Amino acid sequence: MDDGSRNVEMSLAMLRAEGAQGIDRVVFTPHFYRDIENIPSFLHRRDKALDELKRMIDALSGEERERLPAYTLGAEVAWVQGMGDWSELRELCYEGTKYLLLEPPMQQWNEAFFNDVYNMLNRGITPVIAHIDRYCGTQKRDALERLYEFGLPTQISAEPFLHMMSKGRMFRCMEQSGARLLISDCHDTDYRPPNLGSAMTVFRKKYGADAEAFFDETDELLMPVQWLTDE
The CATH number of the domain where 142 resides is what? 3.20.20.140
HEC secondary structure over 90-147: HHHCCCCCCEEEEECCCCCCCHHHHHHHHHHHHCCCEEEECCHHHCCCCCCHHHHHHH
pLDDT above 80 (res 220): no
* CA atoms of 64 and 78, how far apart (whole Å): 35
Q: What is the mean pLDDT of the chain?
A: 91
In a domain, 228, yes or no: no
Beta bridge partners of 192: none
CB 64: neighbour CB atoms within 10 A? Answer: 13
pLDDT above 80 (res 9): yes
pLDDT above 90 (res 230): no
As for how many domains the chain has, the answer is: 1
User: Alpha carbon 187 to chain centroid distance?
Assistant: 12
In a domain, 216, yes or no: no
pLDDT value for 225: 46
Radius of gyration of the chain (CA): 18
Q: Of 126, 137, 128, nearest to 160 (Cα)? A: 137
* CA atoms of 82 and 73, how far apart (whole Å): 24
In a domain, 89, yes or no: yes
| C-alpha count within 13 angstroms, C-beta hemisphere, residue 115 | 8
In a domain, 178, yes or no: yes
In a domain, 29, yes or no: yes
Parent domain of 40: 8-211
Q: Kindly write down the DSSP assignment for every residue of 200-231, as one continuous string.
A: HHHHHHHHGGGTTGGGGGGGGGGS--PPPP--
User: Alpha carbon 58 to chain centroid distance?
Assistant: 26
In a domain, 128, yes or no: yes
In a domain, 166, yes or no: yes
pTM for this model (two decimals): 0.92
Put residue 126 in one of left, alpha, beta given phi > 0 → left and psi -120 to 50 → alpha.
beta
In this structure, of 21-35, 94-108, 116-130, 204-218, the range with the lowest mean pLDDT score is 204-218
In a domain, 223, yes or no: no
Query: What mean pLDDT do residues 23-52 have?
Result: 96
